[in-house]
Amino acid sequence: MTTPQSPLFKRVALIGIGLIGSSLARAIRLHHLAEHIAISTRSIDTLDKARALNLGDSYSLDPAEAALDADLVMICTPMGAYAAVAKAIAPALKEGAIVSDVGSVKSAAIATLKPHLPEDTHLVPGHPIAGTEHSGPEAGYADLFPGHWCILTPEAHTDLAALDLVARLWSACGANVEIMTPEHHDQVLAITSHLPHLIAYTIVDTASTLESHTQKEVIKFSAGGFRDFTRIAASDPVMWRDVFLTNKSAVLDILGRFREDLDRMTRAIEQNDGDALEDTFTRTRAIRRSIIDLKQHIPDTKPNGGANGGPGGKK
């Protein structure tokens, strides 16, 4: 984590000030990465909260006002608002301004933003792989990004100086920056994040349709593995709705593979095929080992949880 001598940007506009936007505001302030932080959000309540938290230097309900004269406009709204935001800020953008975002689906981000932006705008889409199950400006914190990846997905012709500036912003906030194509990002995230979330939402929904007595016991004995699913399934509903609508093809593709694999497991159980089950359960250990090897795994201070094997309470 570096603290540059002079700020990277004169004026940064943050459009949307939820968990990610407000964490970014705090990190930018903490590391002196901008002379001026302009904040815009469409809800007056949220804007008041941001002001009360002293997250920025100016506040506006009009994204164009925040974007005016900004070197960097960072869009931190749910993806469903991207078109409206891009349309609104376009006339206000100064020549050569950088527009970036933090959305979870990069092909759709580019497809939605680009048509509205002036030719001379540098679009540098990004996605910090960081978050919690909490939302809103009060949920953010400056230390959200260290130890996490931020993936930038420039296009072939993206201005390298603009790309470099956005990469330096994220590095200064503590993130590890990785660059890949938007399409590849969307494929990788479909399996590492979107499918796990869809499955978690689904299994918790399945539990919610059980008769009330059983449902109470499911909650009581959730440490057997279910509890971890509920944590994922408490994430922001609007954000996740937009993820599945915008990464539809990659999600449906990996979902199709998963459903085939689940059919195979179901058949193995139906047919009492213990060998097939044991083979699969053994094979999956290798992936776990690779994750530990890559130091992606942060060890538990105390193992606990599942029925002879499941995860349980997180520390």
Question: Where in 125-154 is the site for its own copies (CB under 8 A)?
Answer: 127-134, 143-144, 147-149, 151
Stretch that binds its own copies, among 36-44, 92-100, 156-164, 235-243 (CB under 8 A): 235-243
By CB under 8 A, residue 235 contacts its own copies: yes
Residues 268-297, interacting with its own copies (CB under 8 A): 268-270, 272, 274, 277-278, 280-288, 290-291, 294, 296-297
Q: Which CB, 93 or 110, lies closer to its own copies?
A: 110
Residues 69-128, interacting with its own copies (CB under 8 A): 80, 102, 104, 127-128
Q: Which CB, 10 or 248, lies closer to its own copies?
A: 248
Residues 151-190, interacting with its own copies (CB under 8 A): 151, 180, 184, 187-189
Query: 190, 254 in Cβ contact below 8 A?
Result: yes
Return d(Cα 6, Cα 138) in angstroms, integer.
28
Stretch that binds its own copies, among 9-17, 28-36, 117-125, 260-268 (CB under 8 A): 260-268
Residue with tokens 């809103």: 136
By CB under 8 A, residue 4 contacts its own copies: no
Q: Which CB, 44 or 286, lies closer to its own copies?
A: 286
Return d(Cα 63, Cα 59) in angstroms, integer.
9
Our CA dihedral for 187, 192, 193, 198, rounded to 10 degrees, sits at: 90
Tokens of 291: 């994750």
Element (H, E) at 290: helix 274-293
Tell me the CB-side half-sphere exposure of residue 246, using CA atoms within 13 A: 27
Q: Which CB, 157 or 309, lies closer to its own copies?
A: 309
The interface mask with its own copies, positions 37-76, x = CB under 8 A, is ----------------------------------------
Strands (DSSP E) contained in 218-292 are: none
Q: In the bound complex, what is the minimum distance in angstroms from residue 223's beta carbon to its own copies?
A: 6
Stretch that binds its own copies, among 4-12, 57-65, 159-167, 227-235 (CB under 8 A): 227-235
By CB under 8 A, residue 10 contacts its own copies: no
Within the chain, how many helices (H) and strands (E) appear? 13, 8
Return d(Cα 279, Cα 300) in angstroms, integer.
27
Q: Which of 43, 120, 155, 259 binds its own copies (CB under 8 A)?
A: 259
Our CA dihedral for 235, 39, 152, 194, rounded to 10 degrees, sits at: 10
Q: How many residues in the chain?
A: 315
Of 145, 122, 115, 168, which Cα lies nearest the Cα of 21?
Answer: 145
